[in-house]
A and B are shown apart, each in its own frame.
Chain A
C-alpha cells in the first residue's frame, strides 16, 4: 500500500466552491480535512469513515451527524439543498462539527471538491488504504514486569475478545495459553511489555515486545525445563520453565528475536482453518 500522505483540503475553499450555505461554523482547531466520504448509509460511514474527513450525504437526519461524530469526522455537507433539522444543528454545535448544505447533487459536489487542488481524487481520499483494515480487529495491552498480582489479566482479555468473535474453542484455548505463557515470561524476566493482538478470518497474530534481560541463547531457552526463574518465583508456582516450548507446541508459527539487556520481540501466529 503506497504511503499516501492525506492531501489536506481547506474547509473554507470547499464552502466557496460549493457555494454552500453555512449552518454551523467550523470551530475545530485545524482548518483542514484529510478525507471525503460520500454516503447515505450510516453503517458504512461508521465502518469505513476515517477521522478528520467530511461526510457528504443526502440523509437528512440526526443519525447522520451522530454517525459522523462517532467516526470522528470534522463536519457534514448536506447535498441537494437538504435543510438540517434543529436537533442536528444543536448536536453539531455541541460536539464541534461544521455543517454546510449545497444545492448540488452528490456527483456535482464530489466533482467540485475533487478538483479544488487539481489533484487526482484518490490522493485526497485515502479511505481506500484504510478499507481493508475494518475486517481486522487490533487490540493493544501493556504488562508490567514483577507485577505477579495481575499476571494473567492480558491473556484473559485476549480470550474474551476471541470468544466474542466466535473462533473455534480449541483455537481460543491455544491462543490464550500461549499469551499466558508469554505474559508470565514478561512478568518474570522483563521490565515491561506491549502486546498487540491482531485477528482476522484468516489468522490470529499476537506480538509481544518487551524491555528486559533478553534471551542469550534462544535454542537453549526452547529446551523443556530450562528456566532462569528465581527461587521465590518458583515457590509461587511460576517459572516452571514451561514457557517457550509450551508456546511453540500451541502456536502454528513462533518467531523470537532478542537482544541481551535490551529486550525480546515474540510473534505468535495461529492459522484459522
Chain B
C-alpha cells in the first residue's frame, strides 16, 4: 500500500493534529444499488431514447484500440453527429470503451473510472482481446475475459476494430439501450460481490476502497 493511503496523524494549517485514514475518510464506501425502471413504460422508453442518443464516452484509452477513436473525434467520421462525444472525466461520461486488452495495472484504473461514472452507464469491449484474451492470450499481465471484471453491454470484434465498426457498435448499443436491455450497471450492483472477488483475484495490491464513486 502506498504511503499516502496509510492512516496517519496530520497537522492541519491551524496547528491541530488529527488522525486521517484515507481509505475511510476520502472515499464513500457505500456499495452500488440497482436502479429500477420507472413505473410508466412510456416514460422509461423516453428515458432510454434520451440515454441512447447521448453516449458520452470517457476519454480513457486503455489499449491500442484508442487510436481508432481519434478519427471518430475528427471531421472525417465525426461521431458527434450521432450523439457520441468524448469527455475528460468519468463524472461526465456514461460510456466506458475498453479499447482492447487491459493489463492488470490498467484494470485497476478502469474499475475506478467505471465506478466513478454516473448510472445508467455502459461498457463496450473493443477488439478480440476483451473477448477471450486476443493475441495476448498467454500473457501474464493482461486479463482475458473482460466480463469477469466489468459488466459488458456490447463487444465489437476486430484487432483493432475500424472507426466504421465502432460507429456500427454505437448504433447497436443504442438499439440495446432503447430496448431497455443495457442493464450492465444494475448487473454490476446485483453481482457486486462476484465482480469484486474476480477483480481482487487479479489485482494483487488492492489499495483502494471496494467501491469508490
Do chains A and B stick together as partners?
no
Q: Residues on B close to A: CB < 8 A?
A: none
